[in-house]
Structure 1
Amino acid sequence: MIALIVALGVTIVLFMLTGQGKETPDPIQKFREQSRSQLGSNRRLGRSVDTSALRQRLDRFRSFLEPADKEELGEARMQMIQAGYHGRNAVRDFHAAKFVLALGGLLLGLAYSLVLPPAEGSSILLTVVPVLVPTLIGYYIPIYWVGKRRKERQTQIQRGFPDALDLLLICSEAGQSMDQSIARVARELKAGYPALAEEFATVSHEIKAGKDRLEVLKDMGERSGNADIRSFVTVLIQSATYGTSVADALRVYAAEMRDKRVMLAEEKANILPTKLTLGTMMFTVPPLLIILIGPSVHGVIVMLSTADFGL
């Protein structure tokens, strides 16, 4: 079994180094890399292009590390963006991390099996588990990390969105345009809700680049994965379609978001006594029983030990 696992790992590595590495080089790639390296120093969003040897090597295995289907690739990129990784090579780096960590876990398990081999006559399960467990752990560590980042980011966006609506309403009633309000909200929320501030900053930059505001806001709703933001975009579309005031629509929707926040807080407060009941029973009832019944049990034991039954 160990020999088969070693052969499988070596075969995968040789396949990557021989089969996938022989791709036809792009004659314009050199000029692209030069232009990207020149523009990288002027970028202010922290997404500079890394031209290191590792990243160039990963480019050779792009077809192996990225899904071939465009729909699957788009879904994978959307998941990485929702987790906060906006780089164009985020999907490739994610799959590369899974492969490298799984291979490292495989080698670690093989080394452990060689140093401390199982006893003779052991079952196949005891032989495979020391190799299989580190491999699975290394494979699922990137998946767990990305899922955790995605959930934390969506939670932060959900908590900060009512405050963002209030700031948008204040800026709109103060006479600022929607574009100016979005840029101001991005600056104000940077300290408290950096994920939501990043989304509003992206919207502001895309609007300045010439994209349609409603399309940019729709993209923001898809990136954030938040139903409230998508509903907010629908409200703005309806306001623009029927010609109603944006400030009035923001006022009504902001009030609904505040009511929703209060309802969520009340829901958590109502669930708290139920959660405390189990802890109260575990840490209060046993000491109470010991205090009340303990002396009686002790007296019965002493009486039975000193009693003379005439035997």
Structure 2
Amino acid sequence: MILQFPTQKIPIQEIPVDKKLKLFIKREDLVHPQISGNKYWKLFFNINNYLAQNPVKPYIITFGGAFSNHIAAVSAVGNLAGIPALGIIRGEELKDKWRENPTLVFARKNGMNLQFVTREEYRYKEKLTEFLQKEFQNALIIPEGGTNEVAVEGVKMMLNNETKDFDYLCTAVGTGGTISGISKFCEENQKVIGFKAVMDNSLEETIGKLTPRKNFNLIDSSIGGYGKIKDENIRFINDFKMNYGIPLEPIYTGKMMQKVFEMIEEGYFPENSKILCFHTGGLQGIEGANLLLEKQNRNLIR
């Protein structure tokens, strides 16, 4: 197998809060230095099952935006496995500017080819996928964000005996694959909370197709839309790292943890609750975020 089960234990770290409950964070960001967090598990069976078929001229194709954690992770997998990869990137305007983008530079260094398409073309990814599958019949085509039924099976690996005793399981939500896996495979008594990084009203329907259980609740933590970074987010992320020694990024985990802290203050969680938040990685995005913040003469993420 190209992607292996980690030999090291993934730590669960307590975050002290001045309330009658306990808050913890599971450091999935430490699972692999380049294939970070939930991306590792969403790709785990997709990649290993594909390579187990011994495809002739293996090829990986996937989709993502300019700062996509998924694009970064797939490029790293391709490099690790020695398999050529193609990333379909949203935003034709990036064609001549990709060298200014740390995520895309990382992907190219890993050998990934980049094909830039307009936002209009990107909206019709299903048609584009059909075309690519005919053009590259032996290719593994992975959806945006890595979310599919096989990915959900991989997310199961984020749960173990150590996660069984928690009352609430919290995760950031982008395309819905991670929360689907947690919902599908967690304990019967556990409640799952998904913190939406994107204002997408179809997410609940998407998740409902991937898990038969109705044990999850979606909460908007996008703070105005996907990729929006406010000064309060930056302050929270920097304070969190200073206080607890844990880095967060501004699109997913930073907004999730900020919202969790707000909910604790508001009394959302009953007394004596045990809350577990999954750190889903994505720290590679900090460099790109800081470049944008620097251009706006704003404080940076430390």
Normalised by the length of structure 2, the TM-score is 0.21
Higher helix share: 1
Higher strand share: 2
Higher relative contact order (CA 8 A, sep 6+): 2
Normalised by the length of structure 1, the TM-score is 0.20
**Structure showing greater Rg:** 1
